[in-house]
Amino acid sequence: MSNALKRMLLVNMACMGASTFFIFLNPYLLAHDLQEYHVGLCEAGFWIISVILQPWLGPQLDKRGRMIFLRSGVVLLIAAALGYAFVPPHVRFIFPLRVLQGAGFALYLTSAWAWISDHAPPDKMHTIFGYFGLAALAGSIVGPVAASLIRGQHAPYDDRHVFMAAAGLLLLALVLLLTLHDAVRDVVKEGESGGSLWSLARRPHLRGPLMGSLSFGLAVGSLFAFAAAYLQSIGVQSVPALFVVLTLVAGAGRAFCGRLSARFGAANLVPPCLLSLALGSGGLGYLQWMIPPPIGLVLAIGAVAGVGYGLVYPLLNALAYERLEAHERGRGVSLVAACIDLGNAGGAALAGAVAHRYGEGDMFLAMAVLVALTAVLSRLSDRPERPATVAEVGSSPAEVGFSPENAG
């Protein structure tokens, strides 16, 4: 592995680790008298900006290179983290900061995977993708623990030190990015652009993956927006433990993703993996009747949700990868990301509204039903079509744990 790739792995570990510091953002806001629907609105802003950016970003990456967007994304993430640390916790300040953070995250994540694809040798593509995903998982495991330790040193609900620490970690990532450069790439031939994202979205063989992407976004949007605050409210003492277990199981799932996909087929695996996320959400809702809930049950819920969290994204990208021509795959992956972000935005906003009216426990139960229904629809609407074989395109992303969500 080249030194440039090693530095990029460190960048991804730092950025994904810093992103997990913000699991304490929503509890911090709720402790300062913001309502659940305010939090849901801010979460929706984070994801909606990504949906808006994706149709523009894909072509721009091909025209202007990856690094300018990688660096710009990290700069925006640093600005948002510092904003959380220094502005009052009011929705009129937090909403624009969440939009800013969402824009930075979209720029960084999409550009990072494109950069890795450019630099990985074709015969080692699956290995490099696997390392990149594992670097993100390592950051996601260490991040919540580090944030909890920092948080424990200061007064309750004064999480500004956590946000400043996240900004410092992101600054280290930016310094490393300044030592990296774009690769020399072949450009897409004239007339082979593959059309717009929305023209791809109308193709029958993408309906199933896109519905699955929306379902995945709904599940993740509500889980990461409200789980930490909800668990604190019902007396769970070690909230980061759920996220650590979820991430560990997700990492283990990615290690076997290629084998499972080869044996059962990616399209057949997506719905049951989505149902595991629905079960995780339903399990969180069930905890409202077991106050304080046993920590073993909390960890088991994290493990169940981790199965879907780890497997769904690489499987969805594998389906887009396999069902599109080579010159369309960049836009196909962007389209999957846009649908996930749309689900994230809708899930966070809907979850916030339901939680405000009925409570967070009932909200998780309602989201479990919604995710289960959309999972079934993803299967019923799927129309497989195969324009290219794996032999024609190289390793499938499902074999290598391709997953830009480690988001968190």
**Could you tell me if residue 395 is inside a domain?**
no
Please indicate, yes or no, whether residues 150 and 113 belong to a single structural domain of this protein: yes
**Could you tell me if residue 370 is inside a domain?**
yes
**Could you tell me if residue 134 is inside a domain?**
yes
> What pLDDT score was predicted for residue 394?
45
What is the average pLDDT across 322-331?
A: 68
Please indicate, yes or no, whether residues 107 and 215 belong to a single structural domain of this protein: no
Least confident window among 68-77, 272-281, 314-323? 314-323
**Which CATH number fits the domain that encloses residue 138?**
1.20.1250.20
Which tokens hold the place of 337?
A: 């990301």
**Could you tell me if residue 192 is inside a domain?**
no
**Could you tell me if residue 398 is inside a domain?**
no
In the predicted structure, residue 155 carries a pLDDT above the cut 60: no
d(CA 39, CA 288): 20
Please indicate, yes or no, whether residues 215 and 331 belong to a single structural domain of this protein: yes
In the predicted structure, residue 388 carries a pLDDT above the cut 60: no
Please indicate, yes or no, whether residues 224 and 178 belong to a single structural domain of this protein: no
Please indicate, yes or no, whether residues 33 and 165 belong to a single structural domain of this protein: yes
Distance spanning both ends of the chain, measured CA to CA: 26
d(CA 305, CA 275): 9
In the predicted structure, residue 186 carries a pLDDT above the cut 50: no
d(CA 371, CA 222): 10
Please indicate, yes or no, whether residues 160 and 213 belong to a single structural domain of this protein: no
Backbone angles phi, psi at 389, to 5 degrees: -95, 165
In the predicted structure, residue 389 carries a pLDDT above the cut 60: no
Please indicate, yes or no, whether residues 104 and 206 belong to a single structural domain of this protein: no
Q: Which helix H or strand E contains 198, and what residues bound it?
A: helix 197-201
> What pLDDT score was predicted for residue 399?
44
Closest to 265 measured CA to CA, from 162, 114, 398: 398
Please indicate, yes or no, whether residues 175 and 220 belong to a single structural domain of this protein: no
Please indicate, yes or no, whether residues 170 and 32 belong to a single structural domain of this protein: yes
Closest to 112 measured CA to CA, from 163, 74, 79: 74
**Could you tell me if residue 109 is inside a domain?**
yes
d(CA 386, CA 171): 43
The domain boundary, picked from 135, 166, 187, lies at 187
Closest to 116 measured CA to CA, from 103, 125, 107: 125
Please indicate, yes or no, whether residues 138 and 45 belong to a single structural domain of this protein: yes
What b/e sequence results for 147-183 when a residue is b if at least 16 CB atoms lie within 10 Å of its CB, and e otherwise? bbebbeeeeeeebbebbbbbbebbbebbebbeebebe
**Could you tell me if residue 403 is inside a domain?**
no
- 248: containing domain: 197-387
* Overall domain count for the chain: 2
d(CA 276, CA 303): 9
The domain boundary, picked from 164, 187, 210, lies at 187
Least confident window among 1-15, 38-52, 185-199? 185-199
Average pLDDT of the residues of the chain: 81
Please indicate, yes or no, whether residues 176 and 257 belong to a single structural domain of this protein: no
In the predicted structure, residue 190 carries a pLDDT above the cut 50: no
Least confident window among 28-32, 203-207, 273-277, 323-327? 323-327
What is the average pLDDT across 349-376?
A: 90
**Could you tell me if residue 167 is inside a domain?**
yes
What is the average pLDDT across 55-62?
A: 77
Please indicate, yes or no, whether residues 149 and 265 belong to a single structural domain of this protein: no
Percentage of the chain modeled with pLDDT above 70: 84
